[in-house]
Amino acid sequence: MARPVVAIVGRPNVGKSTIFNRLIGDRLAIVEDKPGITRDRIYGVSEWNGKPFSVIDTGGIEIDGDDVILKSIRMQAELAIEEADVIVFMCDAKSGVTQSDEEVAQILFRSGKPIVLAVNKVDNLARHDEIYEFYSLGFGDPIAISGSHGTGIGDLLDAIVDILPELNDDEYDEDVIRVALIGRPNVGKSSLVNAILGEERVIVSDIAGTTRDAIDTPFEKDGQRYVLIDTAGMRKRGKVYETTEKYSVMRAMRAIERADVVLIVINGEEGIIDQDKHIAGYAYEAGKASIFVVNKWDIVDKDDKTMQQFEKKIRDHFLFMTYAPIVFLSAKTKSRLHKLLPVVQHAAEQHTLRVQTHLLNDVVSDAVAINPPPTDKGRRLRINYVTQVAVKPPTIVVFVNDPELMHFSYERYLENKIRGAFDFEGTPIRIFTRRKSDES
């Protein structure tokens, strides 16, 4: 199920990243009192009054080319309009209504999207009267907020969820495996879709960014039904969209949410770059089953050790995804293509695997007997019992005497033992530690 999307739009330095962090409850975006400093995260998840939604911080969308602030703001607003169901238009009480605010307002008016007007930096009651001039922007009642103090955030969230669309119902049956293809431009995602389907369903070009929309393609193979979600999509032409890497990440995130299995497509000829890690990280954080697909293997100069060396590079670069299998293939020649779908099916099965509680406890008890938890200031972690509480991904709760005694390294040791006993290849495992009294 895809969550509705809320985008935060506004000129630089109005506090978009601070509010983004407030909404998602975590400091995932870099916050600094300097325009254009946002570099890391632009996509997060929030929930209010039982309604989940995704949040985009458009301050993180960097526009290459002519460095004109107004042009950049306009492009960011247009990107948000494409992706968002609701737009939070942020202004700054200290600065008042500026020409840039009016420019953004005109773009948002034409979009027809629901708009929530938020005026930030209302840090005290004396400043509250300064919000009234923002009525001139034509979006109704401005909501006074303070990112630094956290005031007004509840009112903002109330206004957002009041106009959010309902959560999209899943249009596919439970037994259909939904497969999202993600990766940077020109790694061959569309070619891979065509190769799997055996026909030209998706336009293929050597020019990066030629797929304009996410495309769902259902098909059946050996009695198993699948849906391929090609995420290369760039809806608008123009260099600005093709060079906006974080926009492609934004599009990929929406597809990842809908997927059971994510194919992280890497260009075998070019190797691994930082953007590959950035995109793969979203699949990991979303808890999706994942497979590394090294495409264009037909044009790689290789000997009997090349594949092993490339696999080592992937393992070194993606230390957080050691569970993800690696498939080398060529979409163009269809070499080794037959190996992919069996791996996809296996990863999907492991993603939904549920282990009986007594078997899980037997494995953990043996692991503790072999390697007891270390002591911490004279106290030792005691594991009472373990149970699996969810699938997609498999989620395990470990009840202990004191969660603070569970060291990360010991949690990783337990995960490795659980994987060794039950496979779980292709899927992350979530492990949560709870005090035994927290069970009720």
Q: Indicate if the pLDDT at residue 130 is higher than 80.
A: yes
Lowest mean per-residue pLDDT among 13-17, 177-181, 368-372: 13-17
> Which CATH number applies to 5-162?
3.40.50.300
> Which CATH number applies to 357-439?
3.30.300.20
Tens-digit pLDDT profile for residues 209-262:
434 345 678 888 888 999 988 665 433 334 444 444 555 556 677 788 889 999
Q: Indicate if the pLDDT at residue 75 is higher than 90.
A: no
52 annotated to a ligand binding site: no
234 annotated to a ligand binding site: yes
- Single-letter amino acid code for the residue at 108: L
Q: Indicate if the pLDDT at residue 93 is higher than 70.
A: yes
- Find the mean pLDDT for residues 341-350: 97
Q: Tell me the three-class secondary structure of 191-218, residue by residue.
A: HHHHHHHCCCCCCCCCCCCCCCCCEEEE
Is 62 within 8 Å of 247 (Cβ atoms)?
no
Mean pLDDT for all residues in the chain = 83
384 annotated to a ligand binding site: no
Tens-digit pLDDT profile for residues 356-407:
999 999 999 999 999 999 888 889 999 999 999 999 999 999 999 999 999 9
Q: Where in the chain is the domain with CATH 3.40.50.300?
A: 5-162, 177-350
16 annotated to a ligand binding site: yes
150 annotated to a ligand binding site: no
188 annotated to a ligand binding site: yes
CA distance 316 to 309: 11
Q: Indicate if the pLDDT at residue 171 is higher than 60.
A: yes
Q: Where in the chain is the domain with CATH 3.30.300.20?
A: 357-439
Give 128's Cβ-side CA count (13 Å radius): 7
Whole-angstrom CA distances from 208 to 174, 200, 237, 240 are 34, 18, 11, 12
Tens-digit pLDDT profile for residues 256-276:
888 999 999 999 988 887 778
187 annotated to a ligand binding site: yes
Tokens representing 195? 């190769």
- Single-letter amino acid code for the residue at 73: I
49 annotated to a ligand binding site: no
Q: Indicate if the pLDDT at residue 169 is higher than 70.
A: no
13 annotated to a ligand binding site: yes
252 annotated to a ligand binding site: no
- Single-letter amino acid code for the residue at 61: I
271 annotated to a ligand binding site: no
216 annotated to a ligand binding site: no
183 annotated to a ligand binding site: yes
> Which CATH number applies to 177-350?
3.40.50.300
58 annotated to a ligand binding site: yes
155 annotated to a ligand binding site: no
Say what the pLDDT of residue 202 is. 55
298 annotated to a ligand binding site: yes
Q: Indicate if the pLDDT at residue 68 is higher than 70.
A: no
Say what the pLDDT of residue 438 is. 54
357 annotated to a ligand binding site: no
232 annotated to a ligand binding site: yes
CA distance 247 to 379: 48
Question: Count of CB atoms within 10 A of residue 283's CB?
Answer: 25
190 annotated to a ligand binding site: yes
123 annotated to a ligand binding site: yes
239 annotated to a ligand binding site: no
